[in-house]
Amino acid sequence: MKTLLLVILGTIFLACSLKVLAQPQSQTATKTSAKPASAKQSSDEGERRFQENCGRCHYPPESLSPREVKAVLQHMRVRANLTAEDEKLILKYLAP
Amino acid sequence: MKQVLTILFALLFSGAYGLQAQENVPIFSGAVAFTASNTAGAPTFQPILVPLIVAPFGDHWLVESRGEIQGFFFKQDGTTGPYNGIFAASLDYLQVDYIANKHLTITAGRFLTPFNIYNERLSPIWFVNLVDSPIIYTIGTRTSASSNGGMIRGVAIDRQSWTVSYTAYFSALTTTENLQSGRSAGGRVDLFLPHVGFEIGASYQRFLQSGDYNASGMYFTWQPRQIPLDVRYEYAHSPGGHGYWLEGAYHLASSRDTSTWLSRLQPVARVQQFFKGTPTPEDILPSANVNQFDVGLNYYLPHDVRLNGSYGRMYSTQGNGNIWNFEISYRFLFPAWPGGAK
């Protein structure tokens, strides 16, 4: 059983390491890119809602794609009692 | 342990529905960490893997699970002798959620016991400011910090300048290895003032076994808008004892960003006191009064890697001691199967 656990731990650690090495520094570029005024406004509102709700416990995660964010926000709707509107605005902020 | 692993991997590799509905793609997340500690001269090492799976089914249904596989290496006689090691696995939660609306979410299965906020919101290793859990952590979260049963939660009142949220649950007694839970019922109510970043709440639990007794608690958190300061406080009371912890963490930056090396630094300090009561069955509280302070430093490296070092001093009638902790953790998150970025 110990061997099985070690193999699982090793495999996941390797997968995680490869993901780290493969990740470009994309988040900063994404968040600072020029956006239309309305998109900027909803992103600002999304940032505010993130800080008010999610920011009570943690900082924004790095490098999230829209596919990932949707599942994360569903999870947070349960944990942090987010509304559907919160979810939509925070989605625009985290994955514009 | 085999059961836990089977459940986690079955969840990860199941759900081919997502291939047709990519907007609902499940995610595989969690953290790996390595902790080195020295408590009153006794060194220990802990490799930890915390896998987390979230699988949404449309806009209203969600299946989520988190497990923990942990190694614990310690010297045979505490401070001397050769190192021994054990591995253990547990299932923190495996729950089905139905999000009816903002006022009501119904949860069934195994879930984290919602007593105060540390267990549900602050205990994941990628969130904790200090490696060690507070002394009063086990009050209201027995027997395993998880409950098996049902829970309802949501926003009771939603105004622009304040909201009131609630949680209520019931848990059945379970003695199955790695899936333990106590028979209990309880709930939590909190008031949040978003404009000043202040939240205050209260918890209650009726433990319906081992003689039926109550646990109660209150907490507050404060995050002023102007400075990147987090203040958190919890108080909990049970027949076995009562106590509190107060923690402050400050980012060395003008705002809550982590864009420079200096802003990635976060000093942390915590004070806590515990006053023993009458020991109750299954209590894992200290058997003497304890005063303790901890100071620590977090460094947030890029790509969700974090370093955490801390020093604490414990004062107790059973003996004083120094507590050193160092931890490196990596938070991972990726879709459960490959696909485009959109």
**What band does B22 get if pLDDT is binned at 50, 70 and 90?**
very low
Q: Name the residue in chain B with its Cα closest to that of A58.
A: B127
Interface probe, candidates A18, A47, A59, chain B, greatest B C-beta count within 10 A: A59
Between CA B122 and CA B261 the distance in angstroms is 24
Q: What pLDDT does B191 receive?
A: 96
Q: What pLDDT does B2 receive?
A: 57
Q: Once rounded to an integer, what is the mean pLDDT over residues B156-162?
A: 91
- Report the percentage of chain A scoring pLDDT > 90: 0
Of the partner residues A2, A28, A77, the one whose CB lies closest to the CB of residue B87:
A2
Q: What pLDDT does B272 receive?
A: 97
Between CA B92 and CA B247 the distance in angstroms is 25
**What band does B318 get if pLDDT is binned at 50, 70 and 90?**
confident
Q: Once rounded to an integer, what is the mean pLDDT over residues A46-74?
A: 81
Flag whether residue A10 sits within 8 Å of chain B, measured between CB atoms: no
Q: How far apart, in Å, are the Cα atoms of B117 and each of B71, B123, B183?
A: 26, 9, 20
Q: What pLDDT does B3 receive?
A: 57
Half-sphere exposure of B261 (CA within 13 A, CB side): 0
Residue B102: closest CA among B149, B56, B164, B58: B164
Q: Once rounded to an integer, what is the mean pLDDT over residues B272-300?
A: 90
pLDDT at B92 over 90: yes
Q: Once rounded to an integer, what is the mean pLDDT over residues A58-77?
A: 81
pLDDT at B20 over 70: no
Q: Once rounded to an integer, what is the mean pLDDT over residues B263-282?
A: 89
Q: What pLDDT does B7 receive?
A: 54
Q: Once rounded to an integer, what is the mean pLDDT over residues B299-318?
A: 92
**What band does B313 get if pLDDT is binned at 50, 70 and 90?**
very high
Of the partner residues A9, A58, A81, the one whose CB lies closest to the CB of residue B165:
A81
Interface probe, candidates A8, A62, A78, chain B, greatest B C-beta count within 10 A: A78
Q: What pLDDT does B6 receive?
A: 58
CB B242 within 8 A of CB B277: yes
Flag whether residue A70 sits within 8 Å of chain B, measured between CB atoms: yes
CB contact under 8 A, A51 and B256: yes
Chain B nearest C-alpha distance from A9 (Å): 7
Between CA B251 and CA B300 the distance in angstroms is 10
Of the partner residues B55, B69, B300, the one whose CB lies closest to the CB of residue A5:
B69
The pair phi, psi for residue B252, each rounded to 5°, is -80, 70
Instruction: Convert the pLDDT of each residue in B112-149 to its tens digit.
Output: 999 999 999 999 998 899 999 999 999 998 778 999 99
Structural domains of chain B, ranges and CATH numbers in brackets: 95-335 (2.40.160.10)
**What band does B18 get if pLDDT is binned at 50, 70 and 90?**
very low
Chain B CB contacts of A96 under 8 Å are none
Q: What pTM, to 2 d.p., does this model score? A: 0.83
Interface probe, candidates A20, A75, A94, chain B, greatest B C-beta count within 10 A: A75
Dig out the tokens for B338 from the structure.
Answer: 């490959």
Looking at every residue in chain A, the average pLDDT score rounds to 67
Chain B CB contacts of A59 under 8 Å are 256, 258, 300
Chain A CB contacts of B22 under 8 Å are 67
Q: Once rounded to an integer, what is the mean pLDDT over residues B61-86?
A: 93
Flag whether residue A63 sits within 8 Å of chain B, measured between CB atoms: yes
Between CA B25 and CA B17 the distance in angstroms is 9
**What band does B77 get if pLDDT is binned at 50, 70 and 90?**
confident
Flag whether residue A74 sits within 8 Å of chain B, measured between CB atoms: yes
Q: What pLDDT does A24 receive?
A: 37
Query: Which of helix, strand or coil describes residue B142?
Result: coil
Q: How far apart, in Å, are the Cα atoms of B154 and each of A71, A86, B22, B281?
A: 19, 14, 28, 33
Name the A residues in 16-45 with CB < 8 Å from any B CB. Answer: 16, 19-20, 23, 25, 28
Between CA B331 and CA B48 the distance in angstroms is 12
Chain B CB contacts of A64 under 8 Å are 333
Q: What pLDDT does A30 receive?
A: 35
Strand partners, B79: none
Half-sphere exposure of B325 (CA within 13 A, CB side): 25
Q: Once rounded to an integer, what is the mean pLDDT over residues B69-90?
A: 92
Strand partners, B202: B189, B218
pLDDT at A17 over 80: no
Higher pLDDT among residues B6 and B17, named by residue: B6
Instruction: Convert the pLDDT of each residue in B217-271 to its tens digit.
Output: 999 999 988 888 999 999 999 999 999 999 999 988 766 666 778 888 999 999 9
* Host H or E run for residue A11: helix A2-22
Q: What pLDDT does A39 receive?
A: 64
Looking at every residue in chain B, the average pLDDT score rounds to 89
Residue labelled with tokens 């090793």: A10
- CB environment B76-86: b (16+ within 10 A), e (fewer): eeeeeeeeeee
Q: What pLDDT does B23 receive?
A: 63
CB contact under 8 A, B56 and A71: yes
Q: What pLDDT does B5 receive?
A: 52
CB contact under 8 A, B105 and A65: no
CB contact under 8 A, A57 and B303: no
Q: Once rounded to an integer, what is the mean pLDDT over residues B53-73?
A: 93
pLDDT at B310 over 90: yes
